[in-house]
Amino acid sequence: MRILVGCEMAYEFHQVTPVIAMLNVHASRVSDLERPDYLITTPAVPIEGYRDTFGNWCNRFVAPAGRMTLKTETVVRDSGQWDPAEPDAQQIPIELLPADTLQFLLGSRYCETDRLSETAWSLFGGAPLGWARVKAVCDFVHERIQFGYEHSRPTRTAAEAFDERRGVCRDYAHLALAFCRCLNIPARYCTGYISDIGLPPPYAPGDFAAWIEVFLGGKWHTFDPRNNDPRIGRILMAFGRDAADVPLTLTFGQNTLLSFQVTTEQLV
């Protein structure tokens, strides 16, 4: 299966502004790209690429004052299979976890494990270990939070999402992450493309999405508390501890987002 993915974002910068953009497909999918998904800016400016501490590809540049457009586009070769499920995947004791997973047990900017630990154990302490416990977390979060773009707030934390019971996909992800970490399951925040391929219409306008990956049975597994069902064509862009680690754009100055378009489309 071939999937066209890309985005186009237009900004108005009030002054010359340094920017970091994380808009490229993750390195784990680079071999699936039919062409590089270079970041194209209009007007053109020098761009420096680098990898952050999680291995995500980042682009840094200085935007001139005025209007600027950022664009990426590529075709991804995909298996066309639904997100895999492994119900027998087991939870690994902390003392046996690989060292590089331990940071994903800790509290972070948006995931206050200290505030949610007692709640997590009271809700899920009786659930079977492993896959079933994570599924119980995602089922609860999916039902707990009411989705709506009008509910979006960039400062909302996992504990606030639990109390307010509303939000967008990042809020679902943050609450599920916090609960999993409270339950001693390494969990990381993911951002990227999710398609509607294989689903009945109508389809929502294109957008980037957030989901989680949890470490069970010696590898990372995908869970999606927002949609809470498998998808075809889930394409990772970046992962980190929470949304603070993987902003689409990080701008060091005032600006206005003028337009935002995301494409995820199956090609013949």
Interval 28-74: pLDDT, tens: 999 999 999 999 999 999 999 999 999 999 999 999 999 999 999 99
* Res. 250 pLDDT band, cuts 50 70 90: very high
Q: Is 113 or 205 the better-scoring residue by pLDDT?
A: 113
- From 251, 151, 168, 242, select the one nearest 209 (Cα to Cα): 168
- Please check whether the domain covering 94-245 is classified as CATH 3.10.620.30: yes
Q: In what order do the strands lie in the sheet with 57-63?
A: 48-51, 57-63, 17-21, 249-251
Listed in order, the ranges of the chain carrying CATH 2.60.40.2250 are 2-80+248-267
Burial environment of residue 151 by CB neighbours within 10 A (0 to 12, 13 to 18, 19 or more): middle
Q: Which fold has domain 2-80+248-267?
A: Immunoglobulin-like (2.60.40)
* Res. 19 pLDDT band, cuts 50 70 90: very high
* Res. 203 pLDDT band, cuts 50 70 90: confident
CA distance 103 to 252: 27
CB 236 within 8 A of CB 103: no
Cis before 205? omega within 30: no
* Res. 136 pLDDT band, cuts 50 70 90: very high
Give residue 150's pLDDT: 93
Give the pairing type, strands 208-216 and 187-193.
antiparallel
- Please enumerate in sequence order all residues whose Cβ is within 8 A of that of 257, keeping only pairs 6 or more positions apart, or say none: 9, 10, 11
Q: Is 125 or 203 the better-scoring residue by pLDDT?
A: 125
Percent of the chain past pLDDT 90, that is, above it, reads 97
**Average pLDDT, whole number, for the chain?**
96
CA distance 118 to 115: 8
Contacts of 113-118 with CB under 8 Å at 24 or more apart are: 113/178, 113/181, 113/182, 115/159, 116/158, 116/159, 116/162, 116/178, 116/179, 116/182, 117/182
- In the chain the first and final C-alpha atoms are separated, in Å, by 8
